[in-house]
Amino acid sequence: MDRVIIFIDGGNFFNGIQELKIFFYNVAIEKLVNILVDGRKLIRTYYYTVRPTDTSSKMYSVQMSSLDQLERSPYTKVRYGRLTGIPPKEKGTDVFLAIDMLNLAYKNSYDTAILVSGDGDFVEVIESIQSMGKQVENWAFHGRKSDNLLKVCDSFHYLDEGIIKSCCK
């Protein structure tokens, strides 16, 4: 049975959901994972994001609660980057994602990587993983897809409003 690890670029995913006008915290990542895995053996889901820093924000407790729930999800690992600068920019998450994809491919931890991101910066990482005999699927939102990812990945799928709404709590 095909062993699958899912790598979710949290910032890219969050922005894609916002563009669909869906409230991110209503989306059950576990439901999305089941759709992406499609009957194969899930090894783990990695979710890359940053912790909110504005404790005075009305959304802070909702954000922290969602991250806590995600951290407690079965077979899920949340990896945190950092926020720096003004306005704050997410840093480190793409590097963590790339390192984990390569490291786990090298250790033969999966047969297929599923990348949930439209970030074309991952092209070289994907090519390296494929050179180890691994397959890479890409799932991205219509407005956030990279033509370069589309060309290099073994398969490409759109995350559309129907899929995301089917994952709402």
Per-residue confidence (pLDDT) for residue 156, from 0 to 100: 96
Query: What pLDDT does 3 receive?
Result: 98
Instruction: Tell me what the pLDDT averaged over the chain comes to.
Output: 92
Rg (alpha carbons) of the chain, rounded to whole number: 15
**Domain boundaries of the chain, sorted by first residue:** 3-89+104-114+131-144+154-164
pLDDT reported for residue 23 = 79
Percent pLDDT > 70 in the chain is 100
Nearest to 49 by CA among 19, 25, 32: 25
Of the pLDDT bands very low, low, confident and very high (cuts 50, 70, 90), residue 33 is: very high
Instruction: Assign domain 3-89+104-114+131-144+154-164 to its CATH architecture.
Output: 3-Layer(aba) Sandwich (3.40)
pLDDT tens digit string along 142-157? Answer: 988 899 999 999 999 9
Tokens representing residue 12 in the block: 């890219």
pLDDT confidence tier of residue 8, bands split at 50, 70 and 90: very high
> What is the C-alpha separation between 138 and 56, in angstroms, rounded?
36
CA neighbor of 25 nearest in space, from 33, 36, 17:
17
In tens, the pLDDT along 59-95 reads 788 888 888 889 999 999 999 999 888 888 889 999 9
**Strand (E) positions, the chain?**
3-9, 41-49, 76-80, 82-84, 89-91, 112-116, 135-141, 155-159
Confidence of residue 55 (pLDDT cuts 50, 70, 90): confident
Q: Residues 106-142: pLDDT tens digits?
A: 999 999 999 999 999 999 999 999 999 999 999 999 9
Distance, CA of 50 to CA of 11 (rounded, Å): 8
Q: Using an 8 Å Cβ cutoff, are 5 and 104 in contact? A: yes
Distances (CA, A) of 21 to 87, 117, 124, 152: 23, 18, 32, 30
pLDDT on residue 88: 82
d(CA 39, CA 79): 25
pTM value? 0.94
| Per-residue pLDDT at 15 | 87
